[in-house]
Amino acid sequence: MPEPRSHRLWRHVITDHLSVQRAFPPAALTEIEQAITRGERTHRGQVCFAVEGSLPPLRVLRRLTPRERALEVFGLLRVWDTEENAGVLIYLLLADRDVEIVADRGIDRRVDPALWQAICTRMEASFARSRFGEGVVAGVAEISELIAQHFPWTGAADNEIPDRPVVL
């Protein structure tokens, strides 16, 4: 059963940048960056992690879903703009504790959507235990394994997207 809009709105009102900083202190962001860098040494894809504390109230009232916002962020961060169309965005909307994976067409058509969803589910389970950094690092490792199956490292790929997590 869907939750009332007022509950979701309230969560978005009280979740701010301090909430993001508590969930992802500098050390956690550094660990995530290092996990992305390690993963990208095994494949030619590009992984980007973005976390957003909350949405503006009007967007919540208009029922913007985390998936819709993730697709917007995918475009805004130009994750789609990689040489082999193998960019993957991990987007976390902290107020909803919802993680979305958006993969560019080069990798998305090769990976079963159920695999992406399973990674999201495991990450969300970590978030429910307030293990945000650990959940993202584990998710990055799993995603890197999937990308490596289809775009293994050849030594020729450039780092097209910065590995540092993006806090929106």
What is the torsion angle, in degrees rounded to the nearest 10, for the CA atoms of residue 48, residue 88, residue 96 and residue 130? -60
Dihedral sign computed on CA atoms, order 112, 116, 122, 128: negative
pLDDT digits 0-9 by tens, 21-30: 999 999 999 9
Q: What domains can be seen in the chain, in order of their start residue?
A: 5-151+161-167 (3.10.310.50)
Span 150-161, mean pLDDT?
85
Dihedral angle over CA of 117, 120, 122, 125, nearest 10: -130
Tell me what pLDDT residue 83 has.
87
Tens of pLDDT, residue by residue over 54-110, are 999 999 999 999 999 999 999 999 999 898 999 999 999 999 999 999 999 999 999
pTM metric for this prediction: 0.93
pLDDT value of residue 1: 47
Spacing of C-alpha 161 from chain mean position: 14
Region of residue 16 (left: phi > 0; alpha: psi -120 to 50; beta: else): beta
Residue 100 near residue 123 (C-beta atoms within 8 A): no
Instruction: Look at residue 44 and tell me whether its pLDDT is greater than 90.
Output: yes
Main-chain phi, psi angles of 129, to 5 degrees: -95, 15
